[in-house]
Amino acid sequence: MSFQNFITNAVSEWMNGEGEDADIAISSRVRLARNIQEYPFPILATDSQLEQITAAVRQVMEDEDCKRQGPFEFIRMDQLTGLQKRVLMEKHLISPNLMAESRGGAVLLSENEAFSIMVNEEDHLRIQCLFSGLQLQKAWEAADRMDDIFEKHVNFAFDERRGYLTSCPTNVGTGIRASVMMHLPGLVLTHQINRILSAIAQVGLVVRGLYGEGSDASGNLFQISNQITLGQSEEEIIENLTSVAHQIIEQERAARRYLMQNRRLLLEDQLCRSYGVLTNARIIESDEAAEKLSDVRLGIDLGIIRNIPLSVMNELTVMVQPGFLQQHVGQQLDSDSRDERRARLIRERLQSAME
């Protein structure tokens, strides 16, 4: 896949709506933070040292085992426009930090976008694997394979007592961040979400929004991830998060059953009204689009709204973002123009899904 395809095509494999409990668990991600022993952390490294790290990563791309995981495209951040970087961030292929701080930054992307290996972000390497549905074990196994490939070629900064050494102390140890993106409208509508989020925090997990730390949980989308990386093995972290995710899914399903049994008419009215707005609106802002898309997604899950695949709703989550909208039309847009284009794009995509 050429770089142009990465930024013009909204569809990534993690959006395909497949995998265990994909109606609620939209995606599973595992990210490993690693640093090369011979170099300072990126914030302290010289430009020359950052280039040497980049060169080391490009050498790993020639490894036959690496090629079998790909093919890969190597993309330097300093060769992209701000808009192009934003699109990659909106597709969850790079972090907001790599988008903003691109000194020596790069990303290694697999053709199906399941692998995203960020270079010279907060750490020398951030090895990310992203899959549809609740597939944390699969994501961990894929990330672990890629970690082993890199370890054949570079010496990772590692301490026998502390584990992998990272720029941020909260990542020291395993260096693993595992997360599940979940759609939880039932718990929100039944006013249980605050209780659930409080319970999650008590078992060492953290809840963030669509784009991680500092982002809001718009459209009833919540990213649940581990907070502890030291003192537990990778397998224990994955197992704990998977177990909690299963419990949240069961509570979300119970909330949906309650709504269908006790508030069905009101629920159907809300969801169908949202569908009517999305298929007819000429102007729509980001927040309203996220809210209405959440309603329509719930309507699809409950069988109230038919003939629209879940993958389309996952695509629209990315397609309505400011960066992708502007990339789609090939020009910078002011706020009013983005709202008009967003409404048009949603109408056209839903219409094509119904044909």
Residue 210 known to bind ligand: yes
178 annotated to bind ligand:
yes
Residue 26 main-chain phi, psi, to 5 deg: -70, -45
pLDDT in the model for residue 230: 81
- 72-131 residue pLDDT tens: 899 999 999 888 899 889 888 999 888 887 789 999 999 889 999 999 999 999 999 999
d(CA 222, CA 172): 25
Q: What is the value of pTM for the model shown?
A: 0.91
Residue with the bigger pLDDT between 201 and 10: it is 201
70 labelled ligand-binding: no
Residue 9's pLDDT band (boundaries 50, 70, 90)? low
Cα of first residue to Cα of last residue in the chain, in angstroms, is 28
181 is in an annotated binding site: yes
For residue range 156-179, list pLDDT tens digits in order.
999 988 999 999 888 889 999 999
**List of domains in the chain:** 3-255 (3.30.590.10), 264-354 (no CATH)
Check the CA dihedral 74-32-155-66 and report its sign.
negative
Least confident of 25-39, 204-218, 222-236: 204-218
30 annotated binding-site participant: yes
Judge whether 180 is annotated as a binding position: yes
From the list 69, 68, 80, 67, the residue with the least C-alpha distance to 4 is 80
Q: What is the mean pLDDT of residues 14-19?
A: 82
pLDDT at res. 259: 97
pLDDT, averaged across the chain: 90
Residue 208 marked as a ligand binder: yes
Q: What is the pLDDT of residues 218-227, one digit of tens each?
A: 789 999 999 8
Structural contact between residues 28 and 141, judged by C-beta atoms closer than 8 angstroms: no
- Check the annotation: does 92 bind a ligand: yes
Please give the pLDDT value at position 65: 84
Instruction: Give the Cβ contact number of residue 19 at 10 Å.
Output: 17
Quick one: pLDDT at residue 68?
Answer: 86
Check whether 28 is labelled as a binding-site residue. yes
Contact indicator for 223, 179 with CB cutoff of 8 Å: yes
Q: Is the pLDDT of residue 142 over 60?
A: yes
Whether residue 4 has pLDDT greater than 70:
no
Of 204 and 125, the structure prediction assigns the larger pLDDT to 125
Residue range 264-284: average pLDDT?
Answer: 97
Residue 27 annotated as binding site:
yes
